Amino acid sequence: MILEVRADLAPERRERMRILIRKAGVARVEDLKSDLKVSVATVRRDLEALEEEGRIRRVHGGAVSMESRLEEEVFDDKANLALKEKRLIAEEALNFIGTGDSIYLDGGSTVLEIARLLAGRTDLTVVTNSLRAAAELSESGPRVILIGGELRRLSQTMVGPLTQAILGQVRLDKAFMGTMGLCIDDGLTTTDPNEAFTKSLVQEHARQVVLLADARKAGKISFARVSDLESVDILISDKKFPAKTARTLRKRGLKVRLA
Amino acid sequence: MILEVRADLAPERRERMRILIRKAGVARVEDLKSDLKVSVATVRRDLEALEEEGRIRRVHGGAVSMESRLEEEVFDDKANLALKEKRLIAEEALNFIGTGDSIYLDGGSTVLEIARLLAGRTDLTVVTNSLRAAAELSESGPRVILIGGELRRLSQTMVGPLTQAILGQVRLDKAFMGTMGLCIDDGLTTTDPNEAFTKSLVQEHARQVVLLADARKAGKISFARVSDLESVDILISDKKFPAKTARTLRKRGLKVRLA
DNA sequence: TCAGAAACGATCAAAAACGATCAAAACCAA
DNA sequence: TTGGTTTTGATCGTTTTTGATCGTTTCTGA
């Protein structure tokens, strides 16, 4: 008689752990220890494995689920440590905006920085799926058009099939896009398929696609594929962007600007 | 020294802090200290981190939020006086919402009160053109679909021809509408023609139209015509609503509820 | 303008969490 | 069973986080 088959138990335990963390959004090591009836050492090892898989993110004292709201914020926070870079990228992006342009602003913190810089530009028309960008521009400035669609809470953006209804009816001179992952082989990727759908739709409609991505996005691959890199006309990143990747992109015809 | 058992993970606590600051706009260190049950030193450290991320700005004594929020306009006294009535009207309106309904929420402060009451209703689908309603529901609750269109700054709603793109693609069991003027002869009127256009469009699409209008709206006529009263199925108002007008409306087939 | 009060930042010590290491236990194939 | 491998849990030194203290800065109102 086999009392315990540990080879099956370990992955099962990790799965339970993952579920626990996702349900609560966060979990402390001590809680997981008592819930799963194992030692803290094992909990740490499992968390390490789950982090390796990208399912969670470890923090001091426990872990945060990748699928939770908090994680998106934490992830954002992490990315926002590059706030200065984002500002520089956004300022560089401004150079590509002409008088009277009709531009699209994607969700994401880097693109949001552009919105902050457009306060006085009453000559522009801004099309966006980002509630945050809309809020930023709601006081004054450009004409604002929201594309509508289902609200994705995590990112505060409108995504999904419904977005194509309005996108089909507007002209977009330039689209300023954010991304979660940028990879030579896998192109642009993001977390949510519906978001990916809308992003790719926008890129098809826009005359020119400007991708804003700080250096840490380079080489990252997220879950849902948006498009390949050929859809992008201009990439704006910061000085830390891998030179080799930049060269490859330039060879492929992209204009690369490192702010 | 005895440290208390930490209830929160650091990122969790910072997230709560961020929300607190955003909700109130500003927060004092002492308040955050007692709200989060930590020392002032920790509060300061967290604020420092949040400032680094660009989410807040520290000021002497506390911090102010950098995250733009859709501000509720500072209502004049007249509107504030009607707040109680608006609440009652909104609560009455809840009775008309069934399980799993797909409902439309119009702009306007009265309708916004409904949004505030829908926090837990994950069974519903809310379609709206109001950024404020969307913001109210963006944290949790029903599925939210924004209809898109041009942003009208004053009302923070999406209006105009573009709105019909998505409205044509969704089912609306009930539409909860606000209005500026309600008049037996001139029907429903509002200030902006684009807004009127979208309102009438919604009313055509909805199976049932519920009009929310406090008594002050009775007899008022605004600039742009929305529709005549026959488009409305149910009127919800308050006790001060003119009895004579109510009688007339009932004769015309409207259901009238005075909350 | 100046003095008291409040808030601040730097620094330090305590406590909790962490990672590395190692031995014991469980597992697996012969 | 036996020998080798993997997994687990305990120990221990190190790191991180937190809260208190104290001198300094900033705010406020007389």
Q: Mind listing the pLDDT tens digit of every residue in chain A (259 residues)?
A: 333 333 447 788 899 999 999 888 899 999 999 998 999 999 999 999 998 887 888 999 999 987 655 555 444 444 455 677 888 999 999 999 999 999 999 998 899 999 999 989 999 999 999 999 999 999 889 999 999 999 999 889 999 999 999 999 999 999 999 999 999 999 999 989 999 999 999 999 999 999 999 888 898 888 899 999 999 999 999 999 999 999 999 999 999 999 9
Angle at A81 between CA A231 and CA A58, to 5 degrees: 95
pLDDT at B77: 53
Please give the Cα distance from A135 to B153 (Å, whole number): 10
Q: In what order do the strands lie in the sheet with B181-183?
A: B181-183, B187-190, B224-227
Which one of A144, A162, A166 has the shortest CB-CB distance to B151? A144
Please give the Cα distance from B212 to B224 (Å, whole number): 18
3-state secondary structure of A235: strand
Q: For chain B, where do the domains classified as CATH 1.10.10.10 start and end?
A: 10-65
Q: How far is A213 from chain B (nearest CA, A)?
A: 17
Q: Given this structure, which CATH class describes domain A82-258?
A: alpha beta
CB contact under 8 A, A165 and B169: yes
**Max CA pair span of chain B:** 77
pLDDT at B222: 95
* Distance between the alpha carbon (CA) of A165 and the C1' atom of C4, Å: 65
* Fold classification of B77-258 (topology level): Rossmann fold (3.40.50)
Q: What is the DSSP string of chain B?
A: --PPPP-S-HHHHHHHHHHHHHHHSEEEHHHHHHHHT--HHHHHHHHHHHHHTTSEEEETTEEEE-S---PPP---HHHHHTHHHHHHHHHHHHTTPPTT-EEEE-SSHHHHHHHHTTTT-TT-EEEESBHHHHHHHSSSSSEEEE--EEEETTTTEEESTTHHHHHTTS--SEEEE--SEEETTTEEEES-HHHHHHHHHHHHH-SEEEEE--GGGBT---SEEEE-GGG-SEEEE-TTS-HHHHHHHHHTT-EEEE-
Please give the Cα distance from A108 to A181 (Å, whole number): 12
Query: Which residues of B fall within a CB distance of 8 Å from A148?
Result: 145-149, 158, 163, 165-166
Query: Which residues of B fall within a CB distance of 8 Å from A162?
Result: 145, 166, 169-170
Which one of B11, B153, B165 has the shortest CB-CB distance to A169? B165
Q: How far is A228 from chain B (nearest CA, A)?
A: 28
Residue contacts between A and B (CB atoms, under 8 Å):
126
Q: How far is B213 from chain A (nearest CA, A)?
A: 26
**Max CA pair span of chain A:** 79
Q: For chain B, where do the domains classified as CATH 3.40.50.1360 start and end?
A: 77-258
3-state secondary structure of A27: strand
* Distance between the alpha carbon (CA) of A32 and the C1' atom of C20, Å: 22
Q: For chain A, where do the domains classified as CATH 1.10.10.10 start and end?
A: 6-68
pLDDT at B3: 36
Footprint of strand C on the protein (CB under 7 A): A 3-7, 28-30, 40-41, 44, 48, 58-62; B 1-3, 5-6, 28-30, 40-41, 44, 48, 58-62
Nucleotides of C under 7 A from a protein CB: 6-11, 14-21, 26-28
Q: Which residue bears the tokens 């696609």?
A: A209
Q: Which residue bears the tokens 């926070």?
A: A77
Residues B117, B124: contact at Cβ < 8 Å? Answer: no
CATH 1.10.10.10 fits B10-65, yes or no: yes
Phi, psi (5° rounding) for residue A3?
-80, -50
What single-letter amino acid sits at A222? S
CA of B63: nearest nucleotide by C1' is: C7
Structure tokens of A258?
A: 């490192």
Q: Given this structure, which CATH class describes domain A6-68?
A: mainly alpha
User: Using beta carbons and an 8 Å cutoff, which residues of A are at the interface with B?
Assistant: 25-26, 28, 59-62, 64, 70, 73-74, 76-77, 80-81, 83, 131-132, 134-140, 143-151, 153, 156, 158, 162-163, 165-166, 168-170
* Distance between the alpha carbon (CA) of A66 and the C1' atom of C21, Å: 31
Residues A177, A158: contact at Cβ < 8 Å? Answer: no
Q: What is the pLDDT along chain B (259 residues), one digit of tens a residue?
A: 333 344 688 999 999 999 999 989 999 999 999 999 999 999 999 999 999 888 899 999 999 998 877 766 554 555 566 788 899 999 999 999 999 999 999 999 999 999 999 998 999 999 999 999 999 998 878 999 999 999 999 999 999 999 999 999 999 999 999 999 999 999 999 999 999 999 999 999 999 999 999 999 999 999 999 999 999 999 999 999 999 999 999 999 999 999 9
